[in-house]
Every structure is written in structure tokens, then in C-alpha cells.
Structure 1
Amino acid sequence: MSHVTAADGTRIWYDALGEGDPLLLLNGQSLDHEMWDGVRSGLARGHRVVRVDFRGTGGSDAPLGEPYDLELFAGDALAVLDALEIPRAHVYGFSMGGKVAQAFADSAPDRLGALVLGSTGPGGDNEVERPASSTLALRRANTAAGRDAIAELFYSRAWASDHPDTVTRVLPRGPLRAQRLHFAASTGYDGWELLPRIQAPTLVVHGEDDDLTPVGNAALLAERIPGARLLVLPGMRHGYLHEDEPKATREVLDFLAGHPL
């Protein structure tokens, strides 16, 4: 693990595992690199997997004086690739990280191989809205009731009960002010107009029963991004990448294998 200093002086945490075509992992809202535990090792079979903590999370600095936006997060990720001397990488973005991946694809298309968008949406007025109860759970994630609600949005009740450590890793953490800045950055994003400009091979992955980011958003992304492939996983909620592992990992690896750098 190490740090790179972004253009504004913010220190950004990162690590890398494995060898092969680089694969950059982009975290969900207010989550850190640990959200990929249980998934990263599988993805590292044949790939150099790079994890990044966005500013305000994990091992990265948490500047709180100015708003965050997803283009800023994409810039932090690019700074990590520069530090590792990686000219191009596949990108796998989950939830808010999927929106960061869209911004990455638009701002640095020459740095992008293939794109995987998991449990995410286009943002803005065209996004299929989540139920109000899901938004309330996000806002109350630091309470006991909120934690239970987040667990149920991510996983089936039985799976969550059997995997409490994984549930803990998908709960927002870090300074509350930074969590609010992440929430505002995610909800303020609108990628509708940039989606048709994405030229990278794209796989859209989504759980069929996702109430945190409704599955209708996956169809919108797949229709809007030229040539995108859509994979809907039956019975899965927001956290398909854990509950449906190794199937979800295998699908991602198979897709990436078809688009070597």
C-alpha cells in the first residue's frame, strides 16, 4: 500500500495485487478499499488489481472545506495510475464508483480499456429513483436501525446473517462531514449526456432485486452506451458482487478476457 499526492495536495491511498492487465476498482459511496475484500483475490487471477480510497475515506486524506464531485474522484484515480506508471487500465466501478467510472471514461478515454459498471445508474433526472426508504437508510447509516436497513438493501437476510464482516465493510465510514460530501457528490451527478460518448467495451452488471439502485437503471445504461452488454443477476440485491461470488467475478473476468489491453 502507498499514497500519491493529488494536484491539490490531498494524499490518496492505493494498493495493487497480482499481475497482468491492470484493473482499477472504484468504491461505492463513503466506502473504502475493504469493500472489495472477498472479491479482489478472484479478480487478481490474471490482472494487476488496483484499489483506491477516494478522498474522505479509508487511508486517504479527508479535506472538508470544499464540495466533492465525481470528476474530482476520477482525477484522484488517474493520479494513482500515474504513480504506478499504468498508461491504460480496465475499470470496474461499483455503485457510486460506477458513476466515477463514467466520468473517468469521458475525461480520459485514452486511459481506459474495458469498463464494468456494477449496481449503478446514470444520475440526474433520467435515473430511476430509489424508494424513499432506501434514501432514508443511507442518511441514517450510522445508527443501528440504519445499519440493519443497509444490510437488507445489499444482501438477503440469511446471507447477511452468515456474513457479518462483509456487512460491516459496506457500511459508510469516515468523518460524518466527508460522508455528507460523498452523498452530495453522488446525488448531484448527471452522466446522461456523456454516456453515448463512451467508446470502451462496457459490461453493465446489476442485481434483479436491487432497491438501492433500481435495476431499471442498468437497462438505461446498456441502452445509452454504444454496444454495452447487460447482465442482470436473478434474486440479487445491491451487493451482488459478494453474495453471488464467484459467479459475478467469473462473468467479469470472462468479459475482460475478451477485451485485452
Structure 2
Amino acid sequence: MKTRITLALLAALSTGAAQAGGTDSGRTEGLLDVNGARIHYVSQGAGTPMLLLHGYPLSGELFARNRNALAAAGYRVITIDHRGYGQSTAPATAPGSLETYASDALTVMDRLNVPKAIIGGMSMGGPITFEMWRRAPERFLGMILIDTIANPAGIVEQHVWKGMAQKASTFGPQSLAPELLKDMLTGMTRMNRPADGAFLSNIVKQASVEADVAGATVLATRPDSVLTLKTITVPTLILEGVEDTVYPPEFSMKIMQNVAGSQLVLIPGAAHAAIFEKADAANRAIINWARAHNLR
């Protein structure tokens, strides 16, 4: 099966914009005791399960604009806050690691009686998704990779994440918001939709210092997952903001080239948080891809 690249032209997504509405019907949320942590989850909808994993240093609320549309299209959308982020908490002795995040997500699936799901990860959620695949490929119906990367961190990037950890430790989690916001959203969005920036900033501020340090360490020390890409056998969608400066489109193109039959959708006018910034385009891309592969 050939790989495909799609440009998600916003002008052609009027139906997607309509689907971004809807209600919170079928929504449940709560806290689960998981591997010594308390993990907050939201489950919305009653169809094919779709587990979405947020990036650093955010929470499941990154997907606040995706739940309604995807649930209305026939999916049970499950989001979690990784330990120490959002409403989740973690013991001081286990603030988080790549292996722990993956184990937490798989355990949440068990606790919610979800044997298989479409599993997607944004940014740091990508390496977590790869770790879940290495551990339990039988749990995947499909895979969604959102503004993420399979390569290990180079020397410069390692120091960026170490700097984030040091800043959070010195000045608190709220100090990371201005550092990250310039990469999460395009300049146009930051100027014209300040509420978007405030929303993401508030999420960043909810993390604990320990979680900020743990997540930064995960990103700085993540393993090389390029070889893992070649083992992926489920339908795979890659979503990428054209203006992403954290993990630019070149990295998503490399993922596509290494995952047989995968599809890359480029989203114009979106940066690193494309799933939030251009939610209508992302929702339409996910729904079209899932239906094309009969994942419903």
C-alpha cells in the first residue's frame, strides 16, 4: 500500500466545522488508582475506542475541541492526564518515565474495559505510543501520530529539555507557559485568538514541578524509535502542523516513509498544537482516515 500525503485545506472542511459542535452526551470522567498514581480520565461517546495521549507539559484537555466531533462520528474518545499533569497525581518516588506513562495508559484501558483501541499521541505522546506498541501491539486497532518524532533527541534538543526542567524547578510550572506558547500556536493565532493561548497556558500551570522534570527527562532521553516504525502493521495516520517548529514536517515525512501504508496530513496555519489550534481540520482528517480503514 502506498504512503499518502494530504494537504488539509481549511476551505474544504466546512462539514468538519459542523461536526466540531455537538454535546457532551455519554461523557464520564474520574480518577483511577493506577500503578501507585491517580490518573484522571475523560471518556466520551460509545463507539470504537480512541485513546489520545497529550504532550509535554499539557493534559487531556488538549483534546477538548476533538472529543465532541469524534464522539459524534461514532468513536469513544478517551483522554488521560499523564501522572503529575492536569488532575492526575503521582507519588514522589515515581513522578514519571516513558515506561511508566505507557504502563499507565495500558492499565487505564484495562480498567475501562477497552481491550483494543485506536491509540494516538501528540508530541511526547508519540514516544509513549511507540513504547505501548513495543509492549502490546495487540491492543492497537490503529495509530495516530500528532506533531511528534521517532528520532532520539540530539545534543541541542537534550539541553533544551534540561533547561525546561531547570526552569520549572527554579521558577515553577507557570514559568514554562511563555517558553512553550510561542511554539504551540502560530503568531497569527496568538495575536487574533488570545483565549487559545490563555487556555493552553492554564493547562501548563496545572502540572507539578516533579512532572515537568520527569517529562523533560523523558523527551531528552527518549529512545530511537525509527526501527519501531518499520514494525507497525496497523493503519497509521500522521497529523502535522505546517508551521510546527518543535518537530517540523520533515520529521513527520520520515515517519510516513518508515510506516508502510501510512497517511500524512499536513494542516496549514497550525503549529505544534495543531490538534487544538486547527481542531476542525484535525477532526475531519481523523474521521476520514478512520472510515477509510473501517475503524468504526
Q: Same fold (TM over 0.5)?
A: yes
Structure 2 stretches lacking a partner, 5+ long: 1-28
Per the alignment, do residues 132 and 235 of structure 1 end up closer, same or farther by CA in structure 2, a change over 3 Å counting? farther
> Contact 2:237 / 2:264 at 8 angstroms: preserved in 1?
yes
RMSD (Å) for aligned C-alpha atoms? 2.7
Residues 159/153 of structure 1: CA separation in 2 closer, same or farther (3 Å cut) = same
From the CA coordinates, give the structure whose radius of gyration is larger.
2
Residue correspondence of structure 1 range 64-79 to structure 2 within 5 A: 64-66=92-94, 68-79=96-107
| Aligned partners of 1:35 and 1:169 also within 8 Å | no
Is it true that 1:243 corresponds to 2:282 in the alignment? no
Residue 144 of structure 1 and its aligned partner are, at CA, apart by 7.9
Q: Is the 8 A contact 1:131 1:211 kept in 2?
A: no
Output the amino acid matched with 1:150. Answer: L
The corresponding residue for 2:26 is none
Closer, same or farther: CA 135–178 of 1 in aligned 2, 3 Å? closer
Find out whether 1:38 has 2:103 as its counterpart: no
**Structure 2 counterpart SS, 1:226:** coil
Map 1:134-153; keep pairs closer than 5 Å.
140=167, 147-153=177-183
Matched, 1:206 2:240: yes
Structure 1, unmatched stretches of 5+, are none
Q: For the structure 1 residues 41 and 128, does the alpha-carbon distance in structure 2 shift closer, same or farther, using more than 3 Å as the test?
A: farther
2:173 and 2:208 in contact (8 A); partners too: no
Match of 2:211 among 174, 178, 183: 178
Q: Give 1:231 shift.
A: 1.6
**What does residue 41 of structure 2 align with?**
14
Q: 1:23 corresponds to which residue?
A: 50
- Change over 3 Å in CA distance of 1:96–1:143 after alignment to 2: closer
Q: CA deviation at 1:117?
A: 0.2
Q: Within the alignment, does 1:98 sit opposite 2:132 as a pair?
A: no
Which residue is 1:217 aligned to? 251
Give the drift of 1:58: 1.7
Q: Deviations over 1:62-87 (max 9, x none)?
A: 22324632222111111111111111
Secondary structure in structure 2 of the residue aligned to 1:92 = strand
Q: Secondary structure of the equivalent of 1:170?
A: helix
TM-score (normalised: structure 2): 0.78
Question: In 2, are the aligned partners of 1:131 and 1:212 still within 8 Å (CA)?
Answer: no
Q: Is the CA contact (8 Å cut-off) linking 2:267 and 2:281 kept in structure 1?
A: no
Greater per-residue helix proportion? 2
Q: For 2:267 and 2:160, how far apart are their aligned partners in 1? A: 23
TM-score, with length taken from structure 1? 0.88
Ranked by relative contact order (alpha carbons within 8 Å, sequence separation 6 or more), the top structure is 2
